[in-house]
Structure 1
Amino acid sequence: MTRRAVVFDFGGVVFRWQPLQLLQQVLPQHAGDAAASQSLAERIFQGFRLGSDWAAFDRGTVGTDELVTRIAARTGLAADDVRAVVEAVPPHLEVQSGTLALMRSLREARHPLYYLSNMPAPYADYLERHHEFLTWFEAGLFSARVGLIKPEPAIFRRAELDFGIDPARSLFIDDHAGNIDAARAAGWRALHFTGATDCEAVLRQQGWL
């Protein structure tokens, strides 16, 4: 019998992800104000859209060096500046204390925890080395290790089979509306994450806590 569980996205849910702040810190000469930061983020990250350079990095088909070369060629930024951004991401992904407390409460309520994250291989390695609480999760999928990325339907099917859970009885939590829509289309229950406080309120309302 498949199980009921809670499945977390990582970036923007479990870990901080504030790309404009990141760019302002790493490349202040190019991100001097909000408008410049937003423009730079779009040029570098391309909204993480399917088919983008960063999506290929998430999928594991492009490594760090090739990613830097691609972005530098496409944007006109110096390769050293692009590499500085790429290498600054892992330490930027700080744990969000509210989500950590929420996961602790779910564990105390004996709900199995899993993760489903679009994450390049070097970033996944970094998170595993630096965060002992990842052992709280029964299992998880990093996109680069399976060659699939959200919002593709195949990654939700892969997670369902690998985790051995019933997606219609489980809950997937993600901060990107497109991923929520894709999960629901794949038969998952899904919650759009806007903050730990609101997330906890919904979980209590739904009887998880």
Structure 2
Amino acid sequence: MTEIRHIVFDIGKVLIHYDPNLPFQRIIPDPDERAEFFATVCTHDWNIEQDRGRSWAEAEDLLIDEFPEHEEQIRAFRRYWSEMVPHAYEDSVAVMTGLIEAGHDVTMLTNFAADTFAEARKMYPFLNAPRGVTVSGEVGLIKPDVAIYQRHATDFGLEPAHSVFIDDSLPNVEGARAAGWQAVHFTGAEQLKADLRALGVEV
């Protein structure tokens, strides 16, 4: 078994909850209308470009040009972003902080817009506990692009074969494996503990 020397956590849906529906249940109460809005206006593909580094101002302008009738709802996405991340997953946070306290090398690698990540760090101080973080919006690369894993490994001196990446997204898990890392698909804290123990990491 290859020894694990570096443990890398994703953040959204691993350490903190994320759901854009939360504020929009108030903004667009009708569920069908809300689903249509996310499918056609503030889409996943639109939002991921902010994770790649596009500014919110540019992102909003692009959509408002195309959907002027939705200006208020478009601006609400960033305005009420903090409501989309209402709580941490205390059990998986405890796994991460326990690994750090036990002396493991822990870092984070996340698809996150730069400004909302700065906000998240204030909301959730445990995000400052690991040795460091690669934020997609700061480096202009996003998972599952192999380049972002390579960038993280270079910046933090990780040996890919001795690194394990933890993410809730299977494509991102596969991206890490394509970069030569070991990887775990996150489905919950108890399974994460079992997966880490199977890799020889005591939790």
- Residue in structure 2 matching 1:47, options 33, 38, 44: 44
Alignment correspondent of 1:70: 62
Alignment correspondent of 1:145: 138
Shift, 1:117, TM fit:
0.7
- Residue in structure 2 matching 1:197, options 190, 197, 200: 190
Residue pair 1:175, 1:192 contacting (<8 A) in 2 also: yes
Equivalent runs, 1:2-81 vs 2, <5 Å = 4-25=5-26, 27-29=27-29, 32-33=30-31, 35-48=32-45, 53-60=46-53, 62-75=54-67, 77-81=69-73
Amino acid across the alignment from 1:123: T
Shift, 1:45, TM fit:
4.6
Amino acid across the alignment from 1:159: H
Amino acid across the alignment from 1:8: F
Alignment correspondent of 1:121: 114
Residue pair 1:4, 1:167 contacting (<8 A) in 2 also: no
Which range moved further: 175-184 or 70-79? 70-79
Residue pair 2:22, 2:83 contacting (<8 A) in 1 also: no
Residue pair 1:69, 1:79 contacting (<8 A) in 2 also: no
The alignment covers a number of residue pairs equal to 198
Q: TM-score, normalised by structure 1?
A: 0.84
Residue pair 2:42, 2:74 contacting (<8 A) in 1 also: no
Shift, 1:55, TM fit:
2.4
Counterpart CA distance in 2 for 1:18 and 1:197 is 22
Counterpart CA distance in 2 for 1:122 and 1:146 is 13
Alignment correspondent of 1:131: 124
Judged with a 3 Å threshold, the aligned counterparts in structure 2 of structure 1 residues 44 and 201 are, in CA distance, closer, same or farther, namely farther
Identity %: 31
Structure 1 vs Structure 2 CA RMSD: 2.1
Residue pair 1:19, 1:41 contacting (<8 A) in 2 also: no
Shift, 1:74, TM fit:
4.1
Residue pair 1:7, 1:172 contacting (<8 A) in 2 also: yes
SS in 1 for 2:108: strand
SS in 2 for 1:7: strand
Q: Deviations over 1:141-170 (max 9, x none)?
A: 111111111111111110010111112111
